[in-house]
Protein backbone atom coordinates (compact mmCIF):
# COMPACT_ATOMS: atom_id res chain seq x y z
CA UNK A 1 0.00 0.00 0.00
CA UNK A 2 1.06 3.55 -0.60
CA UNK A 3 -0.48 5.76 2.07
CA UNK A 4 -0.58 9.41 1.05
CA UNK A 5 1.40 10.34 4.14
CA UNK A 6 4.30 8.07 3.29
CA UNK A 7 5.23 4.61 4.43
CA UNK A 8 7.91 2.80 6.29
CA UNK A 9 10.30 0.81 4.16
CA UNK A 10 12.88 -1.17 6.14
CA UNK A 11 12.93 1.54 8.81
CA UNK A 12 13.17 4.41 6.35
CA UNK A 13 10.21 6.73 5.88
CA UNK A 14 9.45 7.17 2.20
CA UNK A 15 7.00 9.57 0.58
CA UNK A 16 6.19 6.98 -2.06
CA UNK A 17 7.68 3.65 -3.19
CA UNK A 18 9.84 5.02 -6.04
CA UNK A 19 13.54 4.83 -5.25
CA UNK A 20 16.30 6.10 -7.53
CA UNK A 21 18.82 3.29 -7.73
CA UNK A 22 22.50 3.32 -7.00
CA UNK A 23 24.75 4.03 -9.96
CA UNK A 24 21.99 5.66 -11.97
CA UNK A 25 21.34 8.77 -9.91
CA UNK A 26 24.89 10.00 -9.22
CA UNK A 27 25.08 11.74 -5.86
CA UNK A 28 21.78 13.53 -6.36
CA UNK A 29 23.15 16.71 -7.86
CA UNK A 30 22.69 15.95 -11.56
CA UNK A 31 19.08 14.77 -11.18
CA UNK A 32 18.20 17.60 -8.81
CA UNK A 33 18.84 19.97 -11.71
CA UNK A 34 16.67 17.90 -14.04
CA UNK A 35 13.64 16.65 -12.14
CA UNK A 36 11.66 17.45 -9.00
CA UNK A 37 13.23 15.12 -6.44
CA UNK A 38 10.49 15.90 -3.94
CA UNK A 39 8.21 13.71 -6.07
CA UNK A 40 10.36 10.61 -5.46
CA UNK A 41 10.46 8.30 -2.46
CA UNK A 42 14.19 8.01 -1.97
CA UNK A 43 17.62 8.01 -3.56
CA UNK A 44 20.49 5.57 -3.21
CA UNK A 45 23.87 7.13 -4.03
CA UNK A 46 26.39 5.70 -6.41
CA UNK A 47 28.43 3.07 -4.59
CA UNK A 48 31.46 4.26 -2.68
CA UNK A 49 34.45 2.27 -1.53
CA UNK A 50 36.86 2.91 1.34
CA UNK A 51 39.51 4.28 -1.02
CA UNK A 52 38.89 6.20 -4.28
CA UNK A 53 38.64 4.15 -7.48
CA UNK A 54 39.26 5.58 -10.93
CA UNK A 55 37.01 3.08 -12.68
CA UNK A 56 37.43 0.99 -15.81
CA UNK A 57 38.93 2.11 -19.13
CA UNK A 58 36.54 3.25 -21.89
CA UNK A 59 34.39 2.21 -23.62
CA UNK A 60 32.35 1.75 -20.46
CA UNK A 61 28.86 1.32 -21.86
CA UNK A 62 27.24 -0.44 -24.79
CA UNK A 63 23.63 -0.49 -25.89
CA UNK A 64 21.90 -3.82 -26.55
CA UNK A 65 18.30 -4.49 -27.61
CA UNK A 66 16.23 -2.71 -24.91
CA UNK A 67 19.26 -2.91 -22.65
CA UNK A 68 22.48 -1.34 -21.58
CA UNK A 69 25.68 -3.06 -20.56
CA UNK A 70 27.92 -1.05 -18.30
CA UNK A 71 31.40 -1.58 -17.02
CA UNK A 72 32.01 1.56 -15.00
CA UNK A 73 34.07 -0.28 -12.40
CA UNK A 74 32.83 1.49 -9.25
CA UNK A 75 34.46 4.80 -10.09
CA UNK A 76 34.07 6.87 -6.92
CA UNK A 77 35.87 9.44 -4.76
CA UNK A 78 36.22 7.16 -1.71
CA UNK A 79 34.63 7.35 1.74
CA UNK A 80 36.56 10.36 3.05
CA UNK A 81 35.72 12.66 0.13
CA UNK A 82 32.14 11.36 0.10
CA UNK A 83 31.62 12.32 3.74
CA UNK A 84 33.35 15.67 3.43
CA UNK A 85 32.20 16.84 0.00
CA UNK A 86 29.02 14.97 -0.90
CA UNK A 87 27.04 14.43 2.28
CA UNK A 88 26.54 18.16 3.08
CA UNK A 89 24.82 18.49 -0.33
CA UNK A 90 22.78 15.32 0.14
CA UNK A 91 21.37 16.61 3.42
CA UNK A 92 19.70 19.50 1.59
CA UNK A 93 17.90 17.27 -0.91
CA UNK A 94 14.15 16.95 -0.59
CA UNK A 95 14.08 13.15 -0.18
CA UNK A 96 15.64 10.49 2.05
CA UNK A 97 19.10 9.44 0.85
CA UNK A 98 20.90 6.18 1.41
CA UNK A 99 24.56 5.51 0.80
CA UNK A 100 25.69 2.45 -1.12
CA UNK A 101 28.94 0.80 -0.10
CA UNK A 102 31.14 -1.97 -1.47
CA UNK A 103 34.23 -3.69 -0.13
CA UNK A 104 35.29 -6.70 1.90
CA UNK A 105 33.44 -7.32 5.15
CA UNK A 106 35.97 -5.46 7.29
CA UNK A 107 35.84 -2.41 5.03
CA UNK A 108 32.05 -2.53 4.91
CA UNK A 109 31.75 -2.61 8.69
CA UNK A 110 34.15 0.32 9.04
CA UNK A 111 32.46 2.38 6.34
CA UNK A 112 29.01 1.65 7.78
CA UNK A 113 30.11 2.94 11.18
CA UNK A 114 31.45 6.19 9.72
CA UNK A 115 28.33 6.69 7.62
CA UNK A 116 25.98 6.03 10.51
CA UNK A 117 27.54 9.02 12.26
CA UNK A 118 26.59 11.28 9.34
CA UNK A 119 22.86 10.78 9.85
CA UNK A 120 22.05 9.40 6.38
CA UNK A 121 18.72 7.53 6.23
CA UNK A 122 20.13 4.12 5.46
CA UNK A 123 22.76 1.97 3.84
CA UNK A 124 22.71 -0.31 0.88
CA UNK A 125 25.36 -3.01 0.75
CA UNK A 126 26.41 -3.52 -2.85
CA UNK A 127 27.22 -7.20 -2.64
CA UNK A 128 26.97 -7.83 -6.34
CA UNK A 129 28.76 -5.36 -8.59
CA UNK A 130 29.70 -7.36 -11.69
CA UNK A 131 32.48 -4.94 -12.61
CA UNK A 132 35.07 -5.40 -9.92
CA UNK A 133 37.46 -8.29 -9.57
CA UNK A 134 37.95 -10.14 -6.33
CA UNK A 135 35.43 -12.34 -4.60
CA UNK A 136 35.72 -10.29 -1.40
CA UNK A 137 33.51 -7.67 -3.09
CA UNK A 138 31.05 -10.25 -4.31
CA UNK A 139 30.14 -12.90 -1.76
CA UNK A 140 28.41 -15.23 -4.18
CA UNK A 141 27.61 -18.05 -1.77
CA UNK A 142 24.83 -17.74 0.83
CA UNK A 143 27.36 -18.50 3.60
CA UNK A 144 29.77 -15.74 2.55
CA UNK A 145 26.88 -13.34 2.08
CA UNK A 146 25.70 -14.11 5.61
CA UNK A 147 29.15 -13.40 7.09
CA UNK A 148 29.46 -10.10 5.26
CA UNK A 149 26.04 -8.78 6.23
CA UNK A 150 26.51 -9.98 9.82
CA UNK A 151 29.74 -7.99 10.07
CA UNK A 152 27.91 -4.80 9.07
CA UNK A 153 24.92 -5.58 11.27
CA UNK A 154 27.20 -5.85 14.29
CA UNK A 155 28.75 -2.52 13.39
CA UNK A 156 25.65 -0.36 12.98
CA UNK A 157 22.01 0.00 14.03
CA UNK A 158 20.91 2.04 11.00
CA UNK A 159 18.66 0.42 8.35
CA UNK A 160 20.59 -1.74 5.90
CA UNK A 161 19.47 -3.13 2.57
CA UNK A 162 21.43 -6.02 1.10
CA UNK A 163 21.68 -5.67 -2.68
CA UNK A 164 21.71 -9.27 -3.78
CA UNK A 165 23.27 -10.75 -6.89
CA UNK A 166 20.82 -11.77 -9.64
CA UNK A 167 21.36 -15.48 -9.02
CA UNK A 168 18.33 -17.04 -10.66
CA UNK A 169 18.96 -20.49 -9.19
CA UNK A 170 19.92 -19.62 -5.61
CA UNK A 171 17.89 -16.51 -4.89
CA UNK A 172 15.87 -18.14 -2.10
CA UNK A 173 19.06 -19.23 -0.29
CA UNK A 174 20.59 -15.78 -0.65
CA UNK A 175 17.43 -14.14 0.69
CA UNK A 176 17.32 -16.42 3.71
CA UNK A 177 21.01 -15.83 4.42
CA UNK A 178 20.55 -12.05 4.23
CA UNK A 179 17.52 -12.15 6.51
CA UNK A 180 19.25 -14.36 9.08
CA UNK A 181 22.23 -12.00 9.10
CA UNK A 182 20.00 -9.10 10.11
CA UNK A 183 19.39 -7.15 6.92
CA UNK A 184 16.39 -4.80 7.31
CA UNK A 185 15.44 -5.08 3.67
CA UNK A 186 16.59 -6.40 0.32
CA UNK A 187 17.36 -4.86 -3.03
CA UNK A 188 16.58 -7.47 -5.66
CA UNK A 189 18.65 -7.51 -7.64
CA UNK A 190 21.54 -5.99 -9.57
CA UNK A 191 22.65 -5.89 -13.21
CA UNK A 192 23.16 -9.29 -14.81
CA UNK A 193 26.75 -10.25 -15.73
CA UNK A 194 27.08 -9.86 -19.49
CA UNK A 195 29.49 -9.47 -22.37
CA UNK A 196 29.14 -8.11 -25.90
CA UNK A 197 31.43 -8.33 -28.92
CA UNK A 198 32.32 -6.01 -31.76
CA UNK A 199 32.10 -8.36 -34.70
CA UNK A 200 34.08 -6.07 -37.01
CA UNK A 201 37.03 -5.88 -34.62
CA UNK A 202 36.42 -9.40 -33.33
CA UNK A 203 36.89 -8.40 -29.73
CA UNK A 204 34.79 -7.43 -26.69
CA UNK A 205 33.25 -3.96 -26.91
CA UNK A 206 33.85 -2.88 -23.32
CA UNK A 207 37.18 -1.70 -21.96
CA UNK A 208 36.49 -3.76 -18.85
CA UNK A 209 35.62 -6.74 -21.13
CA UNK A 210 32.55 -7.91 -19.16
CA UNK A 211 29.82 -5.76 -17.65
CA UNK A 212 26.36 -5.72 -16.18
CA UNK A 213 23.15 -5.73 -18.23
CA UNK A 214 20.30 -3.44 -17.20
CA UNK A 215 17.24 -1.85 -18.77
CA UNK A 216 13.84 -3.20 -19.91
CA UNK A 217 15.60 -6.29 -21.34
CA UNK A 218 16.06 -7.70 -17.81
CA UNK A 219 12.59 -6.88 -16.46
CA UNK A 220 11.15 -10.43 -16.60
CA UNK A 221 14.26 -11.80 -14.90
CA UNK A 222 14.10 -9.21 -12.11
CA UNK A 223 10.41 -9.95 -11.66
CA UNK A 224 11.26 -13.64 -11.35
CA UNK A 225 13.87 -12.95 -8.69
CA UNK A 226 11.50 -10.75 -6.66
CA UNK A 227 8.69 -13.28 -7.07
CA UNK A 228 10.89 -16.14 -5.82
CA UNK A 229 12.30 -14.04 -2.99
CA UNK A 230 8.82 -13.09 -1.77
CA UNK A 231 7.97 -16.76 -1.24
CA UNK A 232 10.65 -17.14 1.42
CA UNK A 233 10.71 -13.80 3.24
CA UNK A 234 8.57 -11.06 4.72
CA UNK A 235 11.39 -8.52 4.55
CA UNK A 236 10.70 -5.35 2.59
CA UNK A 237 11.93 -5.74 -1.00
CA UNK A 238 13.11 -2.99 -3.31
CA UNK A 239 12.40 -4.46 -6.73
CA UNK A 240 15.15 -3.39 -9.04
CA UNK A 241 15.82 -4.09 -12.70
CA UNK A 242 14.14 -2.99 -15.90
CA UNK A 243 11.31 -0.77 -14.65
CA UNK A 244 10.71 1.97 -17.20
CA UNK A 245 6.97 2.77 -17.27
CA UNK A 246 3.69 2.35 -15.40
CA UNK A 247 2.97 -1.30 -16.23
CA UNK A 248 6.52 -2.43 -15.46
CA UNK A 249 6.39 -0.66 -12.08
CA UNK A 250 3.04 -2.22 -11.21
CA UNK A 251 4.45 -5.63 -12.25
CA UNK A 252 7.21 -5.19 -9.71
CA UNK A 253 4.62 -4.72 -6.94
CA UNK A 254 2.63 -7.70 -8.22
CA UNK A 255 5.79 -9.82 -8.04
CA UNK A 256 6.07 -8.96 -4.37
CA UNK A 257 8.17 -5.82 -4.11
CA UNK A 258 7.30 -3.10 -1.59
CA UNK A 259 9.29 -0.39 -3.31
CA UNK A 260 10.17 0.07 -6.97
CA UNK A 261 13.62 1.01 -8.17
CA UNK A 262 14.24 3.41 -11.03
CA UNK A 263 17.62 2.73 -12.57
CA UNK A 264 18.62 2.78 -16.21
CA UNK A 265 15.39 4.61 -17.03
CA UNK A 266 16.99 7.71 -15.45
CA UNK A 267 19.38 7.73 -18.40
CA UNK A 268 16.78 7.78 -21.15
CA UNK A 269 13.50 8.95 -19.50
CA UNK A 270 14.48 10.84 -16.38
CA UNK A 271 10.88 12.04 -16.04
CA UNK A 272 9.34 8.54 -16.19
CA UNK A 273 8.36 8.85 -12.50
CA UNK A 274 5.40 11.06 -13.47
CA UNK A 275 3.73 8.32 -15.49
CA UNK A 276 4.74 5.66 -12.97
CA UNK A 277 3.26 7.52 -9.99
CA UNK A 278 -0.05 7.81 -11.82
CA UNK A 279 0.01 4.07 -12.57
CA UNK A 280 0.81 3.22 -8.94
CA UNK A 281 -2.01 5.45 -7.68
CA UNK A 282 -4.45 3.62 -9.93
CA UNK A 283 -3.09 0.24 -8.86
CA UNK A 284 -3.61 1.10 -5.23
CA UNK A 285 -7.15 2.30 -5.57
CA UNK A 286 -8.41 -0.51 -7.79
Partner 1 sequence: MMVETAEIRENHKIASPSYYRMVIEVPKHFQARPGQFLQIQVESKTTDPLLRRPFSIAGLSENKVTVFYQIKGKGTALLSRRQAGEQISFLGPLGKLYPIVPGPKIILAGGLGAAGLLFLAKNLSADSENEKPIAILGCKTKEDLFFLRDFQALDIPTYCATEDGSFEFKGLATSLLRKKIKERSKNGIIYACGPNPMLAAAGKIAKEYGWSAYFSMETMMSCGTGLCRGCAVATRNGYRLACVDGPVFPAEEIMWGKNDSENGV
The catalytic residue positions are 129
In the complex, the smallest distance separating the C-beta of residue 66 from partner 1, rounded to whole angstroms, is 4
> Please, which residue, 36 or 117, has the CB nearer to partner 1?
36
In whole angstroms, give the CA distance from residue 144 to residue 130. 17
List of E strands, 80-165: 97-101, 122-126, 160-163
CB-based contact 95:71 (threshold 8 Å) = no
C-beta of 60 vs 150, nearer to partner 1: 60
Burial class (CB in 10 A: 0-12, 13-18, 19+), 48: buried
Smaller CB separation from partner 1, 4 or 201: 201
Identify which of residues 2 and 260 has a Cβ nearer to partner 1 in the complex. 260
Query: Which residues are paired to 50 by β-bridges?
Result: none
Q: What residue ranges bind partner 1 (CB under 8 A)?
A: 23-26, 30-31, 33-35, 46, 54-63, 65-68, 70, 72, 75, 215-216, 244, 264, 266-271
Distant-in-sequence, close-in-space partners of 156: CB < 8 Å, separation ≥ 6: 112, 113, 115, 116, 123
For residue 69, give the nearest of 225, 223, 195 by alpha carbon: 195
d(CA 112, CA 279): 36
Question: Nearest distance from residue 271's CB to partner 1, in Å?
Answer: 5
**Three-state secondary-structure class, residue 187:** strand
The secondary structure of 210-244, three-state, reads EEEEECHHHHHHHHHHHHHHHCCCCCCEEECCCCC
Least Cβ distance, residue 250 to partner 1 (angstroms): 17
- Compute the least distance from the CB of residue 54 to partner 1, in Å: 5
Q: What angle do CA 3, 6, 9 make, to 5 degrees?
A: 105
Closest CB to partner 1 among 55 and 182? 55
Q: Rounded to the nearest whole angstrom, what is the least distance from the CB of residue 78 to partner 1 in the complex?
A: 13
Amino acid sequence: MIPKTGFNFAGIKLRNPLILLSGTAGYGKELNEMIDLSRLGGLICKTITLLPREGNPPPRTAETPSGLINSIGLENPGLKAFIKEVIPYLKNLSLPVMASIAGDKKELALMAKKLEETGLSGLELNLSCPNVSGSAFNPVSPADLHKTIKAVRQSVKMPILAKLPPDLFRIENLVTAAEDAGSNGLTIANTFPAVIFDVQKRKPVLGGVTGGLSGPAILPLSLYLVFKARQVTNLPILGSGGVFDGPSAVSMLLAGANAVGLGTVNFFRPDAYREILIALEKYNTL
